[in-house]
């Protein structure tokens, strides 16, 4: 398909597609003439992915580029790749908090390894700090209650990874984290509404 057909099929304007091409977010099509290239289903899929990351997640283009780079050139280590993916997702913590005492204390209480370099550790520290600033409670019992609810969910989310290649596992884990989080958040909010109505 030509770029005009890709625009029609994807619902993305030609100018935006050309921007994606210039930025290296979308691979060039197969050149068929001096001013013409052909695009295939993989291009349509990639445009859909970019749209999901910018639309559904509302990520800035710089962060979308980071996620696409992780998927295109995955780190051999799944945990490291997931860490890079997590760092590209909000909440953005500019500098990881080296003295993440709250997050480290929470990790100890939950019996999990604390890695101050892992982006989610700094995100947890910032989140706990926010709770405390707002006067909301955070202690080991509350941490366990959340961990006990989140761990089975995380286990189910990563279950398919065991049968995937390293490259597929990285793409799945990074994209799954990016695109399922809004679903989880929306379901949680709907559950809150239902529980409030039942109260």
Does 78 lie in the same domain as 40? no
13 with 86, same domain: the answer is: no
What residue numbers bound the domain in which 13 lies?
1-56
Distance CA 102, CA 122 (A): 10
Q: What is the pLDDT of residue 15?
A: 95
User: What is the number of residues in the chain?
Assistant: 199
Confidence category of residue 42, pLDDT binned at 50, 70, 90: very high
Tell me: the pLDDT tens digits for 51-103?
A: 988 887 788 899 899 889 888 887 777 888 888 888 888 888 876 555 678 89
pLDDT-derived band at 112 (thresholds 50, 70, 90) equals very high
Instruction: Tell me: do 45 and 90 sit in the same domain.
Output: no
Confidence of residue 143 (pLDDT cuts 50, 70, 90): very high
At 43 the pLDDT is 96
pTM of this structure: 0.80
Mean pLDDT, rounded, of the chain:
89
**In a shared domain, residues 88 and 124:** yes
The mean pLDDT value for 168-187 works out to 87
Tell me, what's the pLDDT at 74? 76
Q: How many structural domains does the chain have?
A: 2
Residues 15 and 108 placed together within one structural domain of the fold: no
* One domain for residues 44 and 71: no
66 and 9 in one domain?
no
- The verdict on 40 and 136 lying in the same domain is no
pLDDT above 90 as % of the chain? 51
Last residue of a domain, one of 56, 84, 103: 56
Please tell me whether residues 26 and 78 are part of one structural domain.
Answer: no
Per-residue pLDDT of 126-142, as tens digits, reads 999 999 999 999 999 99
- Is the domain of 94 the same as that of 164? yes
Residues 47 and 66 in one domain: no
Shared domain check, 141 and 87? yes
pLDDT band at 4 (very low <50, low <70, confident <90, very high): very high
């Amino acid at each position: 398909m030509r770029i005009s057909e890709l625009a029609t099929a994807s619902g993305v304007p030609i100018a935006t597609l050309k921007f994606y091409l210039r930025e290296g977010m979308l691979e060039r099509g197969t050149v068929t003439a001096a001013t013409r290239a052909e695009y295939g289903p993989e291009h349509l899929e990639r445009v859909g992915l970019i749209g999901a990351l910018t639309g559904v997640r509302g990520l800035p283009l710089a962060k979308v580029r980071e996620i696409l780079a992780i998927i295109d050139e995955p780190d051999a280590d799944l945990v490291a790749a997931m860490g890079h993916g997590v760092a590209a997702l909000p909440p953005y913590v500019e500098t990881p908090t080296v003295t993440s005492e709250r997050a480290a204390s929470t990790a100890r209480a939950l019996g999990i390894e604390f890695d101050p370099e892992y982006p989610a550790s700094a995100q947890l520290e910032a989140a706990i700090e926010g709770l405390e600033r707002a006067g909301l409670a955070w202690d080991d019992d509350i941490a366990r209650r959340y961990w006990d609810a989140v761990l089975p969910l995380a286990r189910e989310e990563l279950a398919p990874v065991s049968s995937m290649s390293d490259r597929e596992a990285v793409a799945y884990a990074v994209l799954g984290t990016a695109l399922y989080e809004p679903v989880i958040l929306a379901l949680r909010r709907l559950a809150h509404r239902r529980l409030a109505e039942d109260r």
